[in-house]
Amino acid sequence: MQTPPGVKPDRIDVDDQQAAAQWARKLDTTVEQLHDAVKAVGDKAADVEMHLKGARSTTNSDRVKELGG
Protein backbone atom coordinates (compact mmCIF):
# COMPACT_ATOMS: atom_id res chain seq x y z
CA MET A 1 0.00 0.00 0.00
CA GLN A 2 1.45 3.32 -1.04
CA THR A 3 1.09 6.48 0.97
CA PRO A 4 -0.59 9.33 -0.93
CA PRO A 5 1.70 12.26 -1.84
CA GLY A 6 2.08 14.73 1.01
CA VAL A 7 0.98 12.25 3.67
CA LYS A 8 3.58 11.26 6.22
CA PRO A 9 2.79 7.88 7.81
CA ASP A 10 4.65 8.74 11.02
CA ARG A 11 2.71 11.98 11.53
CA ILE A 12 -0.74 12.39 13.05
CA ASP A 13 -3.05 14.85 11.28
CA VAL A 14 -5.69 15.66 13.90
CA ASP A 15 -7.43 17.97 11.41
CA ASP A 16 -8.34 14.89 9.33
CA GLN A 17 -11.19 13.30 11.31
CA GLN A 18 -10.81 9.91 9.66
CA ALA A 19 -7.05 9.81 10.20
CA ALA A 20 -7.44 10.98 13.81
CA ALA A 21 -9.99 8.25 14.47
CA GLN A 22 -7.66 5.62 12.99
CA TRP A 23 -4.73 6.83 15.12
CA ALA A 24 -6.95 6.88 18.22
CA ARG A 25 -7.90 3.24 17.62
CA LYS A 26 -4.30 2.28 16.90
CA LEU A 27 -3.06 3.98 20.08
CA ASP A 28 -6.04 2.79 22.15
CA THR A 29 -7.09 6.28 23.15
CA THR A 30 -9.86 8.74 22.44
CA VAL A 31 -9.74 11.35 19.70
CA GLU A 32 -9.87 14.03 22.40
CA GLN A 33 -6.87 12.53 24.20
CA LEU A 34 -5.10 12.28 20.84
CA HIS A 35 -5.71 15.99 20.17
CA ASP A 36 -4.39 16.87 23.63
CA ALA A 37 -1.29 14.74 23.12
CA VAL A 38 -0.55 16.32 19.72
CA LYS A 39 -0.91 19.78 21.29
CA ALA A 40 1.51 18.73 24.03
CA VAL A 41 4.25 17.00 22.02
CA GLY A 42 3.63 17.64 18.32
CA ASP A 43 2.37 15.40 15.55
CA LYS A 44 5.13 12.77 15.44
CA ALA A 45 3.41 9.43 16.11
CA ALA A 46 6.22 8.01 18.27
CA ASP A 47 6.22 11.11 20.50
CA VAL A 48 2.44 11.02 20.84
CA GLU A 49 2.51 7.32 21.72
CA MET A 50 5.16 7.85 24.40
CA HIS A 51 3.24 10.82 25.81
CA LEU A 52 0.04 8.77 26.00
CA LYS A 53 1.80 5.83 27.63
CA GLY A 54 3.38 8.15 30.16
CA ALA A 55 0.07 9.85 30.85
CA ARG A 56 -1.61 6.67 32.00
CA SER A 57 -0.50 3.34 33.35
CA THR A 58 -3.43 1.47 31.82
CA THR A 59 -5.12 1.57 28.45
CA ASN A 60 -8.73 2.46 27.84
CA SER A 61 -9.36 -1.23 27.11
CA ASP A 62 -7.93 -2.13 30.52
CA ARG A 63 -10.25 0.37 32.20
CA VAL A 64 -13.30 -1.03 30.40
CA LYS A 65 -12.37 -4.54 31.53
CA GLU A 66 -11.93 -3.31 35.11
CA LEU A 67 -15.40 -1.79 35.00
CA GLY A 68 -16.88 -5.07 33.74
CA GLY A 69 -17.49 -3.82 30.19
Q: pLDDT by residue (tens digit) across 12-56?
A: 999 999 999 999 999 999 999 999 999 999 999 999 999 998 855
Treating both helix axes as pointing N-terminal to C-terminal, what angle do 17-26 and 31-41 enclose, rounded to 10 degrees? 90
Helix (H) or strand (E) holding 55: helix 45-55
Say if 1 falls within a structural domain: no
How many domains in the chain?
1
Say if 36 falls within a structural domain: yes
Residue 58 binned pLDDT confidence (cut-offs 50, 70, 90): low
Q: Give the pTM.
A: 0.68
Say if 59 falls within a structural domain: yes
Say if 12 falls within a structural domain: no
Q: Which domain holds residue 61?
A: 17-66
Say if 11 falls within a structural domain: no
Check residue 1 and give its pLDDT. 45
Say if 8 falls within a structural domain: no
Say if 60 falls within a structural domain: yes
**Whole-angstrom distance, CA of residue 6 vs CA of residue 61:** 33
